[in-house]
Amino acid sequence: MRERLLSSGDARDLAGLFQVMADPTRLRIISLLAETELCVCDIAAALEMTPSAVSHQLRVLRMTQLVKFRKEGRMAYYSLDDDHVLKLYTQSLDHLGHMPGGTIGSVRKPGGPDR
């Protein structure tokens, strides 16, 4: 147990990482890019969203170095930047799987830990 109280700065940085992951659209994009490299229009089509909305989210993922991209003609192909992202993503999926009935963010069973 080597952990100690996080400094305010480190806590802010770490919160920034989780904040980027804390959006359904961005998580679905990551789930797509976990399989293969994709262009914006394919992602937009898969998510049934406008290319604009997807592009905004890709910008966030790009700025925080969770995804990288390469340009080929007028297309931009996106992929995960490194496998830390993938690890964090798959680990969180495991966590969700261990939650009884998927209790996070949705309706919880009565008589739970609160109240």
58 token code pair: 């890709």
Q: Which of residues 31-60 bind a copy of itself (CB under 8 A)?
A: 31-32, 34-35, 46-47, 59
Instruction: Choose, by CB under 8 A, the member of 42, 55, 62, 77 that binds a copy of itself.
Output: 62
What are the phi and psi torsion angles at 45 (to 5°)? -65, -45
CB of 12 to a copy of itself, least distance (A): 5
CB of 46 to a copy of itself, least distance (A): 6
CB of 73 to a copy of itself, least distance (A): 20
Say which DSSP state 40 is in. Answer: H
Instruction: Choose, by CB under 8 A, the member of 52, 73, 98, 111 that binds a copy of itself.
Output: 98
How far is C-alpha 89 from the chain's CA centre?
A: 7
Q: How far is 38 from 4, CA to CA, in rounded Å?
A: 40
Q: How far is 80 from 107, CA to CA, in rounded Å?
A: 32
Per CB under 8 A, 99 contacts a copy of itself: yes
